[in-house]
Structure 1
Amino acid sequence: MSLLLTAPGVSAHNATKPQHKSQIVLEDQGSFTVGGGVVTNPGKFDPIKLTPDGQTIHGDFAYVQYQIPRNPRRYPLVMWHGGGQMAKTWETTPDGRDGFQNIFIRRGFSTYILDQPNRGRAGRALQGTTLAPVPGPGPTGEQGIFVRFRIGIWPNYFPGVQFSHDPAALLQWWQQQTPSTGPADNEVASDAIAALFKKIGPAVLLSHSAGGYPGFRTAEKTPNVRGIVSYEPVGWTFPEGGAPAPIPTAAGDITGQTVPLSDFLALTKIPVLLVYGDYIPDPQKPSVYPGIDIWRGRLMMARLFVKAINDHGGKAQLLHLPEIGIHGNTHFTMSDLNNETIADLLSKWLKKNRLDKYGDRRDLH
C-alpha cells in the first residue's frame, strides 16, 4: 500500500507564511499498542449483573504510531518523549514547521513515535494517581516550565532563543503538555519499549528529557537498540558501585542511578550520543534561578555518564551545542527554530556510525 501525503501550503499557526514542501510518499502507516499488563478482579464475571467480579483491566502499555516511506533505510527511528509530554514532541513544532517525524521520513527513515505507558493515548494505568487542574508548587505550572525548559525568565525570552515569540506558538507548546495517569515507573516504561523493539526489530532510539533514563534501561533489556541519541536526558545509569557523588544545585542534588554491571555494559556495545542546548550555567557559576541551575548539575552528571561508558570500553559522546557554535537552543532542541540544523547533526552521527544504510531488514534479527 502506498500513501501520498501532500504537505500543507501554509503554516497551521501563521497563514501569512507559505511553506513549499516536497511530498511525502509512504509505503505504509498505522498504529498499535505494545507491552503492558492486566489486573483481574477475583470472582466470576456475570454478564447480567455486570459487577466487578471477574472483570479485567489492561494497562501500562505504550501507544505507537508508525510511518514507513518507500524504500526505507534499514534502521527505523523510535522517538520517545520526555516528562509531561507525549508523541507530540516529535510532530509538528509549536510554530507550525516540520518536526523530527516529518524531517526524517523525508530523509528516508521509518519512524515510530510513541506515547509511553500512562501518558497521552496510552493513558490506561494499572495504578491510580490524583490529577488536579491547578498549578502545583515549583516548576509544574506553565510559567515554571517556561523557565525550567530554558525559554527565558517569565515573561521575558532569553536573547537569541530558538523559540518563536509568537503567542500562538507558546500556546501550542503549553497545550502539548499532558499529565501522567499513573505513578512514574521507569521499569514499566522500559519494559513496554523493550517489547516494542522486540516487535519491530533493530532500530535507533531517540529519547528526550525524562525519557532518557528509561531509554538507557531499554537498551539494557534488548539487543535490538542499535544506537541511542538522547536529547537532554535528566537521568543516567551507572554500574553498581560506580555512581558519582551527588552534584548540588539550587534545585537539589543531581544523582545517578545504579544498575548491575552486566546491564550497564550493554550501553558499551552501541554508539550513544547526548545533546544539550544553551543557557546552561557554567559549572563554577551557579544561577540564582533553581529551574536554570538544575541544568548545570545535569550537564555535569551527563559528562560523568559518558565518561563511565567510555571507561568501560564504549563509544559515547556528549554534544553541548554552544561549544560547537550553535546557540539559543532550549530544552526542546528537536523542535526549536533551528531544528533542521539539529537534525543535520543527527544525520551526520547516523552516517558516521553506519546506521543510515539502505537494505533488507530481514537479516537483522
Structure 2
Amino acid sequence: MTRVLHVITGWDRGGAERQLLLLVRHLPVHCDIAVLTGTGDLTPAARAAGIDVHHIGMRGNSDPRAVPRLARLMRRGAYDVVHTHLYRACVHGRLAARIAGIRRVIATEHSLGDGHIEGRRTSTPVRLLYRATERLGETTIAVSPTVARRLRGWGVPASRLLTLPNGIDAAAFRFDPRHRAATRACLGIGPDEFVVGSVGRLVDTKRLDVLIRSLPHDERGRLLIVGAGPARATLERLAASLGATHRVIFTGDRADVPALLSAMDLYAAPSSQETFGLSVLEALASGLPVLYSVCPALTDLPPDAAPQAQRLPPHEPDWRAAIEQAARRPAARLRPPPAVAHYAITRQIEPLVRLYQHGPAAIGASVPSSVSPA
C-alpha cells in the first residue's frame, strides 16, 4: 500500500487542519501526519481514526532542528509520498523530503491571500523562499482558481500547478433539531431567539466587526461567533462599546461545529478575503441561508448552485438591512443546494490517489470535472 506522510504547520481546529483530517479519513492509502509546532487539538481525533501523529517540536521559523527531524522521520517511515500543507510545512517539508531522498513531493496551498499568507505579510523574502522551495517538489495543489492565480502571480509556473478544491462531508453537518435545542440551552439562547452565526479564525480579514455593528438595534437577535484568534479582544471591546455584550456570544474553538450550525438561523461571512470559503459550504450543508462577501467556492460555480446564498458588499448598511430582513422572516431549514454535492470530499479521493501513485502526468491525462490544471 502507498505510504503518505502529510506535513502540516500546526494541528489546531483551523480550516486547513480540519480539511486534512477529513481527507486522511477517506484516503485508501496509509497516511501519517507530522506536525511542526505544538501538540494540537486534533491529535486525539486523528489517533482515534487510526492515524499516527508525529510532533516535530519546531520552535520558531528558523529552528535548525526541524528539517533533520523531519528527514529522519521520512526515512524511518519509508514513505512513498510527502504531502505538505501550509507555508512553513511546505518550506521545511520539501527540504526534508529532498534530504530523505523522497521523489514524490506534493504541496497543497490552503491559505494564500491577497498580500498575506497565514497571517504574515507576503514580503519579497517570503515569496522568494516559497518559490525556491516549491521547485523541490513535484506539484502544488491550489484549493481554488483564486489561489492558483495568486501562485502564478508569485512566479510558480502553471505547468506545476493543479487546482483541486477542498471537500466537505455533508452528512456530518446535517441539521439536527436535538442538537439545536441542546446547544441553545447550553449557551443560554432561547428557543425562539433569532441567531446569526459565523465560524472561523478571529482575524481582521474576517470583518466580524461588520456583524457586530449590524445586529438589529431593537434587541432582536443574538450573534454567535465560533473560533479563536488575535482579533477576539478587539471584537469583545467593540461589542461592549455598543452595549451588545449580552447579545454577542464568543465560544472560542469548538469541536461541535455541526451542532453550533444547527443552533443558528442565518450564517454570515463578511470576509474581505478568502481562499475557498469552506465554512460557507458547511453552513449550506446544515440547511442555513447564507450571507457572504467573498467565497471562491461559490463564485467559481453558476449562481443556481447555491440559491440560498446571497452575496453582499462588505458595507455595514447592506449587512444591517439584510440581517434585519432575515430576522423579520426567519427561514425554515432548507435543503442543501447543489454546491454542497459538487464539493463532496469523495470527489477528491480518486485524483489524489492517482497523483500519489503515478504523478501529475496521470492527472493531466484524465481530468475529472472537480480537478483542473491551474
User: Per the shorter chain, which TM-score range?
Assistant: 0.3 to 0.5
The TM-score, its normalising length taken from structure 2, stands at: 0.36
The TM-score, its normalising length taken from structure 1, stands at: 0.36
More helix by share: 2
